[in-house]
Amino acid sequence: MKRSARVKAGIAVSAMVCWAAWTTSAAAAPDTFEGLEARLSEALAAYDRAALDTLWDDQLVFVFPNGVLSRKAERLKAQVPPADTGGPRLVARNDAVKVEYEDTHVAVVIVRSSWRFGDQPSAPFVATHVWIKRPQGWRLVSAQVAEVAPPRPSQ
């Protein structure tokens, strides 16, 4: 192989390695709220208690669409995969993630997603998530979920 061909091959391999490293770190960017919310959605969809335990703060307060409150221990205990039919199933991960407020210690994030309950049609939800900065990183300290009403027919 000629020297110029070896140099070109070396540059190509280096570029591919750099590209792979960059895309891997960008996809897994846990320091962004989009990354945190993606990890949270994936953990909820997989009923991954270990991941949720890491993402959720020990002081987590969760408010269901019906107004019922739950704490971290209760939510973790409830993370049991449903049977093949029935039970909540995540249909779409996050349709939209918008940071409404952020400073060095607190962030408020609005997330829109769709869930399907059993064999029912999917339903859109919006969640207000409050993230708090702890020494070990960002943790979800509060979540309130509401079902989005279907659009009203025009009069």
Distance CA 49, CA 78 (A): 9
Q: How many CB atoms lie within 10 A of CB 40?
A: 24
Distance CA 112, CA 119 (A): 21
In the chain, helix, strand, coil percent, each to 5? 35, 40, 25
Q: How many CB atoms lie within 10 A of CB 131?
A: 25
Q: Quick one: pLDDT at residue 102?
A: 87
Both tokens assigned to 32:
């962004």
Distance CA 148, CA 125 (A): 5
Which amino acid appears at position 77 of this protein? K
Q: What is the pLDDT of residues 101-131, one digit of tens each?
A: 888 888 899 888 877 666 667 778 889 999 9
> What average pLDDT score do residues 70-82 get?
91
Whether residue 13 has pLDDT greater than 60 = no
**Residue 77 host element (H or E):** helix 72-77
- Name the band, by pLDDT with cuts 50, 70 and 90, for residue 66: very high
**Burial of 7 from C-beta contacts in 10 A (0-12 / 13-18 / 19+):** exposed
Fold of 31-147: Nuclear Transport Factor 2; Chain: A, (3.10.450)
Q: What is the pLDDT of residues 15-34, one digit of tens each?
A: 333 333 333 333 435 578 88
Q: Quick one: pLDDT at residue 23?
A: 33
3-state SS assignment for residue 103: coil
Both tokens assigned to 98:
């918008």
Whether residue 3 has pLDDT greater than 80 = no
- Residue that wins the pLDDT comparison between 31 and 69: 69
Whether residue 4 has pLDDT greater than 70 = no
